Structure 1
Amino acid sequence: MTALRRLTSAAATALAVGTLLRRTHLWSDGELIPVVGADGRPAAAGLAEKIYLDVNGVRQGMFLRSRDAAQPVLLYLHGGMPEYFLTERYPIVLEKHFTVAWWEQRGTGLSYSPDIPPETITSEQLIADTFTVTDWLRDRFGTDKIYLMAHSGGTFFGLQAVARAPERYRAYIGMAQMADQLQSEVLAHQYMLRRFEELGDERMVRRLEKAPVTVTGGTPRAYLAIRDTAMHRLGVGTTRDMHSVLSGIFWPSLRSPQYTPAEKVRLWRGKFSSGVSALWHENLAIGLGETVTELAVPLHLLHGIHDYTCSYPLTREYFEKVQAPIKGFYSFHRSAHSPLFEEPERTQRILCDDVLGGTVSLADGT
């Protein structure tokens, strides 16, 4: 009888745990959330797919979303790690206006594999991958050109890709555009040290003082170990209201019903293996102000004034120098690193009126 009770209790516990995991979506089947129309029902011409492609010899995944597959195509390049799951918390609904490809690049998220040698993940490789994915999208949706939107680390190779092959793209949208990342880290370190001194946080001050960031010395490991924590505690990281990577990114990613458990594991294995970025040494060594001085397509740069992940003033300086047929800089006064998620209504207005309209009527100073 005792053995039977133990077996029954174990079965009940397992059932309860399984139910909890499913209700919190920690255990999920990866089923996609449907794209809905204005009436709140699944859109008749809507598109919601999770697909995998062979991209230059590596299996890579992406999410495709659109209210109508005939809409203009937009390829989204994420930053340090995939951001698609954040759309569940921040309803930006880009699919109302675009057919959006949320590509998870080589070595990240859906596209992570331990078999990919880290040394092969370079900006040149990611630029080549971008062209391959772009051409696949052009063929799939029957269009000669697409829009390219990049965020943070994705802007480093995204801008270079558009500069090299403007015939593939209608416009480039850079959010938290990298310009001179080494100088950006110097400015971030100075700002955070000053703010923690003002706040009387002696422990964080000591840690930052022991890990100085300089143009000659770069970003020491001790600095990188506290960088994200420090930025988020001060509200100058991913978003102004995100004060913890654990509660703001880690848990939401695990709770996403659109990734299977195995895909969630790959999401974080990719992040842990790449650190800040798989291209970090290139990010610090190459200033885009020297390598990309002109663009042959419209340029739209969206930047939060509270962003210290990618320096707002340095990006403004870059914008003033770079040449483009038309160009617009858009300052977001309530945003840090992610205007798309922090001020979605204004972002959508810019994308609809300026990007799709081929103007910069909403840009600063107009």
Structure 2
Amino acid sequence: MTVSVTNWARNIRFSASRFHEPESVTQLRRVVAGSSAVRVLGTGHSFNAIADTSGDLVSLARLPRLVDVDEHSATVTVGAATRFGELTEALHRSGFALHNLGSLPHISVAGACATGTHGSGVGNGCLASAVRAMEFVTAEGELVTVDRNTPDFAGMVVSLGALGVVTRITLNLVPTFTVRQWVYEGLPGAALRERFDEVMASAYSVSLFTDWRDDRIDQVWVKRATLANAPRNLLGATLADGPRHPVPGMPAEQCTRQLGIPGPWYARLPHFRMDFTPSSGDELQSEYFVDRADAVAAFESLDAIRARISPALQIGEIRTVAADQLWLSPAYERNAVAFHFTWHPDAVHATDAVRVVEEALSPFAARPHWGKVFTTGPEGVRTSYPRHDDFRRLLTRLDPGGKFRNAFIERYFPTV
């Protein structure tokens, strides 16, 4: 059917000729086999045209639900459209957990993995680093399964939706665990510069929030996988006296429990609760990953331009991501620090600020988040990913007719 569809932020209106919501994998295979151009829309939390197409736009939301825990192998197989918040309680009841979660439990498993989306923690890889196997529909409509024993599997996981339509994903699990979360306020910038690694390694997951308006970190979100109490002072930052939201003026009830109240991993690792929509979508987002060894220098470069970016900014976040071997992961072969920016929904001002940020981070081979707003050109992307050309060849081999290509993919991975 033809329908007007937008992403969550409403800054992208998809140009698809037809929109499909198949109710079975058989129906999905027919749609793919009969189309000349296909892209998949997940939960719509990307802020650029990565999912756009002039052909057939497909949602997997109506496929049968699947959450299959294998206790023997410590894995779970889920339907691609499953949102993390729909999965985590079942895992916890079975005695298992995912090693990491993003800020939002509302995003789909397949979409998050395909774009290299992540959580935080010096020892925690991105969400896709847990992928053990995938089932997907090829350009010919065939259903295939690949796993870690498949050649080039590391190039297939963070695939930007360009290799096929993922229908199932198998994820590695860890034993369930308890987390306590605290928020600190007013971390001096000087303290962060001097002891950055210490701050970011002080808990299982740490996030720094700043509006880049002065030389301090407004909030430090500390998530500890231990029952030990937190100190009242963290290098000059003090414990908040009540729950906080990272964006000034927003209600804290939308956020996961703080004040050190113990809870299961899935109710603390995300910043936001599944039963609340964290905002109306009136925002744009960008994010850039640099080598953790360059974290302080990159922070200082951004601090030097804060007056140029802060008027367009709602809030910024700084997180760490452990290195992995996934070709298009922003943390490929380097422990990373991610600088995240939530902009006001003025596209012109946000894009101007994005260009300023990219210029400041250019000495650090910054890799932009695939699903967010960026203006980095094809050459900048190519040089920052050592396996870029390998992925181009893989794309051409698995989809020689370019059925899963769109303008975004063609721009950054032109046909070989």
TM-score of the two chains, using structure 1 as the length reference: 0.34
Q: Going by fraction, where is helix more abundant, 1 or 2? A: 1
Q: Going by fraction, where is strand more abundant, 1 or 2? A: 2
Highest CA radius of gyration, 1 or 2? 1
